Amino acid sequence: MIRLYVFPARLKGTPNPSLFCVKLETALRLAGVPHQLWYEMDPSKGPKGKVPFIEIEGERIADSALILYQLKEKLGVDLDRGLDDAERAMSHSIERMVEERLSWTIAYSRWIDEANWPAVKKALFQGLPFPLSRIVPGSARKAVKAALHAQGTGRHNREEIYDLGARDLAALSALLGERRFFFGEEARLADVTVYAALISIIGPDLESPLKAAALSHENLVRHAERMGELYAAKRPRNRINLTLAA
Ligand SMILES: N[C@@H](CCC(=O)N[C@@H](CS)C(=O)NCC(=O)O)C(=O)O
């Protein structure tokens, strides 16, 4: 049985505070891959210092994309089965745009934007004992700020960052058009990845120009609703272990 390690589900409105955890869990659910969910608060427990990661046959593997490549190789799991080469390339491009660009705007809106940080801090770090409650949130925020700066997004001003995010969302909306899913009637990896981003933006009770931009695209909102229904319908039975990892 695969163990899927994700952050505790501490942000109301989204299955997980991490877009990458939502993506991987949704992909496993949709592909019908049996798994147990383990909550891990410490990314350093993962082989690459990040969450999510999985444990399969005693081996820990990190990175949502690399995990899915391995599951394809080992178990034949492929949400993009049946797509032609150009569609697969489009699916890949959508996944990369969401993860390499849009996700940083989401991180900014939660961790840096003063309008949301107090609520995010409260949700993510609830229950930490003193004095950790005084130290951990600030140092985690500092680390995200440094990562945003290194990646580049953090060098733009607030207006520019939200404008970049709004452009990504507009592109996704145009690509989706009137279809139910990006490649027709079936949800593919691109749909899973976009859902992970959309529910991260729209789901939590946090306001930002990014959320306003997402809500302005009716087709994206409907897509998120549709994917949310699929996510709920594909809940694995007796396979969830909501235990905090030791
Ligand atoms: N490329 C990775 C990204 C995972 C990632 O960035 N995880 C973040 C949470 S959203 C993390 O664990 N950050 C902790 C850190 O960088 O110290 C994937 O697809 O899994």
Q: Among candidates 81, 46, 83, 84, which has minimal Cα distance to 66?
A: 46
Q: What is the pLDDT of residues 186-202, one digit of tens each?
A: 999 999 999 999 999 99
DSSP code string of 35-76: EEEEE---GGGSTTS-S-EEEETTEEEE-HHHHHHHHHHHH-
pLDDT digits (tens, 9 = 90+) for 107-143: 999 999 999 999 999 999 988 999 999 999 999 999 9
Checking if the pLDDT of 246 tops 70, the result is: no
Is the shortest distance between the CB of 64 and ligand 1 below 6 Å?
A: yes
Q: What confidence category does residue 93 fall into, taking pLDDT thresholds of 50, 70 and 90?
A: very high
Atom of ligand 1 nearest to the CA of 52: 20
Average pLDDT over residues 90-107: 98
Say how many Å lie between the CA of residue 235 and the centre of ligand 1.
24
pLDDT of residue 242: 52
Pocket flag, ligand 1, residue 65 (CB < 6 Å): yes
Gap between the Cα atoms of 150 and 32, Å rounded: 37
Question: What residue spans define the domains of the chain?
Answer: 2-80+235-244, 85-232
Q: To test ligand 1's pocket by mutation, which of 50, 66, 104 has the most ligand atoms within 8 angstroms of CB?
A: 50
Grade residue 236 by pLDDT with cuts at 50, 70 and 90: confident
Ligand 1 center to 106 CA (angstroms): 13
In this predicted model, what pLDDT tens digit does every residue of 144-164 receive, in sequence order? 999 999 999 999 999 999 999
Which of 6, 19, 51, 110 has most ligand 1 atoms within 8 Å of its beta carbon, as the pocket-test mutant? 51
**Structure confidence by residue, pLDDT tens digits, 4-26:** 999 999 999 999 999 999 999 99
CA dihedral 112, 19, 22, 116 (to 10 degrees): 20
105 lines ligand 1 (CB under 6 A): no
Compute the mean pLDDT over every residue in the chain, rounded to the nearest whole number: 95
Task: Return the best residue to mutate from 20, 24, 142 for the ligand 1 pocket (most ligand atoms within 8 A of CB).
Answer: 20
- pLDDT tens digits along 29-81: 999 999 999 999 999 999 999 999 999 999 999 999 999 999 999 999 999 99
The residues facing 106 across adjacent strands are: none
Report the separation in Å between the CA atom of 124 and the middle of ligand 1, taken as the mean of its atom positions: 15
- For 2-80+235-244, the fitting CATH number among 1.20.1050.10, 3.40.50.12280, 3.40.30.10, 3.40.50.1100 is 3.40.30.10
Please tell me the distance from the alpha carbon of residue 116 to that of residue 97, in angstroms, as a whole number: 24
Determine which residue's CA is closest to atom 20 belonging to ligand 1. Answer: 63
User: Average pLDDT, stretch 202-207?
Assistant: 98
**Does residue 104 line the site of ligand 1, with CB under 6 A?**
no
pLDDT at 239 over 70: no
| Ligand 1 geometric centre to CA of 62 (Å) | 9
What would the pLDDT profile of 135-149 be if each residue is shown by its tens digit?
999 999 999 999 999
Give the atom of ligand 1 at the shortest distance from the alpha carbon of 18: 10
Q: Which CATH architecture has domain 85-232?
A: Up-down Bundle (1.20)
